[in-house]
Amino acid sequence: MKYEKEIARRRTFAIISHPDAGKTTLTEKLLLFGGAIQVAGAVKSNKIKKHATSDFMEIERQRGISVATSVMCFEYQGKLINLLDTPGHKDFAEDTYRTLTAVDSVILVIDSVNGVEEQTRRLMEVCRMRDTPVIVIVNKMDRDGKYPFDLIDEIEKELKINLHPLSWPINMGKEFKGVYNLYDKTLQLYSPNQRSLEDNNIDIPNLQDPTLDQLVGQRDANQLREDVELLDGVYGAMDKADYRAGLVAPVFFGSAVNNFGVKEMLDTFVQIAPEPLGRDTDKRHVAPEEEKFSGFVFKIHANLDPRHRDRIAFLRVVSGRFQRSTYYKHTRLGKDVRFSNPYSFMAREKEIIDDAYPGDVVGLFDTGQFKIGDTLTQGEELQFTGIPTFSPELFKELVNKDPMKTKQLEKGINQLTDEGVAQLFTQHGGNRKIIGCVGELQFEVIQYRLLQEYGAACAFMPLSFYKACWITGDKKKLEDFVRFKQQNVMTDKDGNLVYLAQSEWFLNTERQNNPDIEFHTTSEFKTQNKQ
Ligand code: G4P
């Protein structure tokens, strides 16, 4: 195991949350602890505000800025931490899902006032699909939020995970006094706008100690005693193995904007978060310790600036050592490629790197040869699997408005869908093209980019489909189904058959009428089939 030390040093994770729960604020505090930034406010430009929904150019501009902060690296307590950013805007949720395939664990931020929100649910679904270890931080304890026991209950039920509180709040809102660390039995007293990065922990191994009453007042001290007794009875000690298996999620309480509770969480994170993990391929499992390099592309970012038509492909290193200016096999294209200027990302700056190790993310200059999910290896024929595609929520037919530019339109829509901007379905045995997206915004982006970058004018005709399901099963039965349901059967870009259902009722009916056909709502079935 040549690169054992490098692997053991790395931790690659993402912070996920519903917009406004505090992801950006928390990211910034973590970077401050890691010394990657010196001033607060440095990460703010990364944020796509909710109100910007009607102004997609502004969103794209901000997305452009966010390339620099897409991957943030910092060192903390001897560990090299790769923090992968995920877009907050729901119309770009697919980007987030794909980024989650490139991390080994996540930190989930929950707003103590709003509790579990829509995006939280979907993101956790993706985490559960691959048993990603999760640490939860309940944020905004300086506001009058939900009662902590109710919140724990809500998170467990709604997100279908078992929680294990490692800290417990003392009151909340204006009365918020701090948290008691259940693990090392220390008290952290809250003060707004905590600037110090030092530990201010007060040892209280025995909660009956009258010092507690002096520090937080008798009423809150008694409440804490009662709460902790209850917690001890329910939870006991936390098993790291359960966390790493994605079975139990430790919970912390804090206030990111006040820099409170963040350090405790980070300290725990570096102790328990998993090292870079291996990944499955169509042939076998690849372990990080393997000597030969391999990695996969999980995100492609185009530059909207017409003066710089380059794209950056984000590659997660899975095994071995990636080296600059070295030939690697692009397994889908079956050709050798090399990169003379691979980037690594250091907070706001991109810098050219010579090598990278498992867990690292490398930015590769791309002239259009990459597609999401592409694999690079040191010669071996394999393809990483498990980059999910979900059913889109909106479907529109692509209408060519300028027959003279048909070729440009074809090329443009192929490249944009390779980037993962949207999904392209082509009528089975025909030429109708249907674009599937998560949000309206993506249609605007596509229309704009096709015109600007490819000179192709298009329009979109709304279609009333409800879901796209990949269909598999008995060959003969599938052929019959395709014949009967011609209007609703498409192929995706990889040639897989897809059934577009008009409504839930139609989908359920087809499921009942065709027991030999499986209807999959994510493309994960490809992975399952091959294993
Ligand atoms: P996001 O990336 O998850 O979308 O959330 P972000 O960090 O931008 O936080 C959303 C809002 O919540 C911000 O206020 C931020 O200051 C606030 N916030 C974050 N953590 C806490 C906390 O612990 N307590 C309280 N009370 N507020 C918190 P904003 O007004 O939308 O933005 P800004 O003007 O402060 O930048």
Are residues 336 and 446 located together in one domain of the fold? Answer: no
For a substitution probing ligand 1, which of 90, 174, 257, 260 has the most ligand atoms within 8 Å of its CB? 257
Closest atom of ligand 1 relative to the 26 alpha carbon: 7
**57 in any annotated domain:** yes
**264 CA from centroid of ligand 1 (Å):** 20
**311 in any annotated domain:** yes
Model confidence over 412-460: pLDDT tens digits? 999 889 888 899 999 987 889 999 998 888 898 889 889 988 899 999 9
Residues with CB under 6 A from ligand 1: 17, 19-25, 47, 88, 139-140, 142-143, 255-258
Q: How confident is the model at residue 50 (pLDDT cuts 50, 70, 90)?
A: very low
CATH assignment at residue 462: 3.30.70.3280
Protein residue whose Cα sits closest to atom 35 of ligand 1: 257
CB atoms within 10 A of CB 122: 17
Expressed as residue numbers, the domain containing 296 is 279-377
Structure tokens belonging to residue 399? 């209408």
Final residue of a domain: which of 207, 237, 272? 272
pLDDT of residue 318: 98
Q: Name the percent of the chain in helix, strand, coil, to the closest 5.
A: 35, 30, 35
pLDDT at 182 over 70: yes
Model confidence over 343-399: pLDDT tens digits? 876 545 567 888 999 999 998 988 889 989 999 999 999 999 877 788 898 999 999
Are residues 144 and 188 located together in one domain of the fold? Answer: yes
Closest atom of ligand 1 relative to the 50 alpha carbon: 4
**200 in any annotated domain:** yes
pLDDT of residue 46: 45
pLDDT of residue 223: 96
Protein residue whose Cα sits closest to atom 30 of ligand 1: 20
Are residues 409 and 330 located together in one domain of the fold? Answer: no
**190 CA from centroid of ligand 1 (Å):** 18
Please give the torsion angle defined by the CA atoms of residues 162, 168, 172 and 176, in that order, rounded to the nearest 10 degrees. -160
Question: Is there a contact between 219 and 284 (Cβ–Cβ < 8 Å)?
Answer: no
CB atoms within 10 A of CB 235: 15
Are residues 305 and 426 located together in one domain of the fold? Answer: no
User: Based on the structure, what is the number of domains in the chain?
Assistant: 3
Are residues 353 and 403 located together in one domain of the fold? Answer: no
**32 in any annotated domain:** yes
Protein residue whose Cα sits closest to atom 19 of ligand 1: 22
From the list 173, 177, 167, the residue with the least C-alpha distance to 227 is: 167
For a substitution probing ligand 1, which of 25, 31, 50 has the most ligand atoms within 8 Å of its CB? 25
Instruction: Tell me the mean pLDDT in the region 232-256.
Output: 92
